[in-house]
Amino acid sequence: MNISKLLGTFPTKQTKSITLRKLNLEDAPTLFNYYSNENVHRHLDWYGPETLERSYEVINIWNKGYEDGWIIRFAIADKATDEIIGTIFLSEFVGKRAEIGYELSEQYWGRGIMSEAIQEVLSLGFNELGLVRLQAFVSEENIASRKLLTKFDFSEEGCLRQFECHSVTGECKDMLCYGLLHTEFMRRNE
């Protein structure tokens, strides 16, 4: 599946509090800043961009990935200021399934922002891209993310042992697999 061919121009979505939009190079300093927080990157498979310069490169890689059709990574921007406060993505497109992932600046935790972002991305995946399944891989200790996924009716489907290896430390972790089907999403949103 080549998502850029299906969607064309990178889409922009708005909710009550946020705008989901294409990342731009002006976002690099803020991206670097919030990824530098250990609480943000502790459950991820990388520490985020190591330098401000690398932040620019990462944004270019993600945007090129959309052009090449293998990822759509949205900036989660504060609707009032347009400042980036996180990202959310769909990737790993195989047949009619994809993976969802996300992170959010710690100062915005607990405000329902990620719930708004997930609802929009689920709708995009199922309604605009025609996906049948979305899945997420979460470390067992990431309680907040696990609760968030179950709030959206994702089912915990099992543990993938030593599934994810950190890009810097090399440490391999067990990951829990969560899945949501299109039919479940539609039933939830009736």
Give the whole-number percent of the chain exceeding pLDDT 90.
70
* Average confidence score pLDDT of the chain: 90
CA 136 to CA 156: how far, in whole Å?
9
Question: pLDDT class for 42, splitting at 50, 70, 90?
Answer: low
Q: Where do the DSSP E strands lie in 95-154?
A: 97-104, 133-139
Give the pLDDT score at 47: 64
> Quick check: 121 pLDDT over 70?
yes
Count of structural domains within the chain: 1
- Give the pTM: 0.92
Domain of 141 in residue numbering reads as: 3-188
CATH of the domain at 117: 3.40.630.30
- Name the more confident of 139 and 149: 149
Give the pLDDT score at 46: 56
Q: Within 13 Å and on the Cβ side, how many CA atoms surround 54?
A: 9
> Quick check: 145 pLDDT over 60?
yes
